[in-house]
């Protein structure tokens, strides 16, 4: 008896989650006064995404309905494709839109290898002197 109740509650909640997920993903938010069209959106998010504004043909619905596979077929590189989709989701959730700069490695290397690189450089300095 317990397994029947568990299956029933799980299947109904799963159906609810699937319908609520698709309704949220397909939602196209209205334009705002700060971002009235696709070209302005792509200029605002930066990282040279405005180069791809002609692919969208300034259609607001295309910006929110195209997925990663569609953007790949249009010829948008992976890094910019991910960035555009993340900014679209932020706009859909009504979060502020601004340019996120690309991170830059420091002289001492990335975070994972920083200790190794600094130790190697200090060892070279000791050997030279």
Nearest to 53 by CA among 25, 77, 76: 76
pLDDT in tens, 93-118: 989 888 888 877 777 777 888 889 89
Per-residue pLDDT of 16-57, as tens digits, reads 555 555 555 568 888 888 888 899 999 999 999 889 989 988
Of 82, 80, 94, the C-alpha closest to 35 is 94
Note whether residue 73 is domain-resident: yes
Asked whether residue 45 is domain-assigned, the answer is yes
Would residue 110 count as lying in a domain?
Answer: no
Q: What is the CATH number of the domain that holds 60?
A: 1.10.150
For the whole prediction, is pTM greater than 0.85? no
Asked whether residue 14 is domain-assigned, the answer is: no
For residue 58, pLDDT beyond 90 = no
Report the alpha-carbon distance of residue 93 to residue 74 in Å, rounded.
25
Torsion-angle region of 48 (φ positive above 0: left; ψ -120 to 50: alpha; else: beta): left
Any domain includes 116: no
Residue 78 confidence (pLDDT) above 60: yes
Say if residue 90's pLDDT is above 80: yes
Domain that holds residue 30: 24-102
Of 94, 96, 99, 97, the C-alpha closest to 29 is 94
């Amino acid at each position: 008896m317990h397994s029947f109740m568990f299956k029933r509650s799980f299947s109904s909640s799963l159906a609810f989650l699937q319908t609520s997920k698709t309704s949220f993903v397909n939602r196209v938010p209205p334009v705002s006064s700060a971002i009235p069209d696709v070209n302005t959106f792509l200029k605002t998010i930066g990282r040279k995404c405005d180069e791809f504004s002609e692919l969208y043909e300034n259609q607001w619905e295309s910006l929110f309905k195209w997925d990663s596979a569609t953007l790949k077929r249009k010829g948008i590189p992976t890094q910019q494709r991910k960035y555009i989709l993340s900014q679209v989701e932020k706009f859909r959730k009504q979060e502020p839109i601004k340019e996120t700069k690309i991170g830059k490695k420091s002289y001492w290397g990335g975070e994972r290898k920083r200790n190794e690189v600094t130790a190697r450089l200090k060892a070279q300095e000791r050997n030279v002197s």
